[in-house]
Amino acid sequence: MTDLKEYNVEGGLIGLGEFILLEIASESIDLEDVQQIVCLNKKTFQLKDHIRFHKSIDNKINIPISITVPSGSYTKKEDEFVFTSTGDEYKTFPIDFQISRGIYQCEFKNNKNACAFGVMKSGLIIPFGKGCGVQPYCKDNAYYFPDLGYIIQNKKDTEINQKLKDGDTVAIEVNMKPPRTATFFVSGKQLPVFVSNLPESVQFFFYFFYYGSSVTVLSLKRLEYPTATNIADAKEVKWE
């Protein structure tokens, strides 16, 4: 954080007024930065009781969801992140939020016949009509393919023998602390596999193909601590 004494603010950060401090807390990227601001002294500690402070914390835990894709053979339910395919065509939907540090979890619901859920290198664009498992896109993503019960990265299949039923949820948890991992959960159960060596910045995504396939993006959260645990004999998929 910039030393505010350089800008002739008397007393540095603690010399700022309440509303400016709240604005700084709102704009801070990480919870750790907000905690540092609040714990400076008695004056800043009082910020924790302000409604704007609670809203700032909530926005850092429950990340607003946005998905930017072109129009095509799908519908989106108004005011909800429910996507339904209206024609047979490969369609990839990245979550806009890019992750370069911290621990995040995105949860989806397989309403009907979803094809894949995964993480991709930030900025990757997979045009409609192309699958995420084909060149040149496959090297820049890793995904759970429920039809076969595989985790796939760069055309390499790792079998986990976990299929998906309509109505099941899929959660992906990324931990950007080295070795930068992604862990998968189906209906709350952690799968015995993880992807390591993720790119320095990633995005969550899902894709489907068939007419009538449907996915809901339920949540995108920033976690203070990982929920993924070490599973004996878990398979490691190294991002290559």
Buried-exposed string 12-45: b where 16+ CB fall within 10 A, e elsewhere: ebeebeeeebbebbeebeebeebeebbeeeeebe
- Tokens at 76, concatenated: 């989106």
The ranges of the chain with pLDDT < 70 are 1-60
3-state DSSP assignment of residue 117: strand
3-state DSSP assignment of residue 58: helix
pLDDT of 159-201, one tens digit each? 998 889 999 999 999 999 999 999 999 999 999 999 999 999 9
What is the pLDDT, as a whole number, of residue 43?
47
**Listed residue (153, 95, 165, 155) closest to 123, CA to CA:** 95
What is the pLDDT, as a whole number, of residue 81?
98
Distance of alpha carbon 129 from alpha carbon 209, whole angstroms: 9
Which part of the chain has CATH 2.60.120.920?
74-238
**Does domain 74-238 match CATH 3.30.160.100?**
no
pTM of the predicted model as reported, rounded to 2 decimal places? 0.79
| Degrees to nearest 5, angle at CA 199 with 129 and 204 | 50
Distance of alpha carbon 200 from alpha carbon 5, whole angstroms: 33
Which residue reads 């930030």 in tokens? 122
| Degrees to nearest 5, angle at CA 103 with 97 and 105 | 65
- Judge whether 169 and 186 are in contact, CB under 8 Å: yes
Cβ count within 10 A of residue 70? 7
- Judge whether 103 and 112 are in contact, CB under 8 Å: no
Containing 55, the helix (H) or strand (E) segment is: helix 51-61
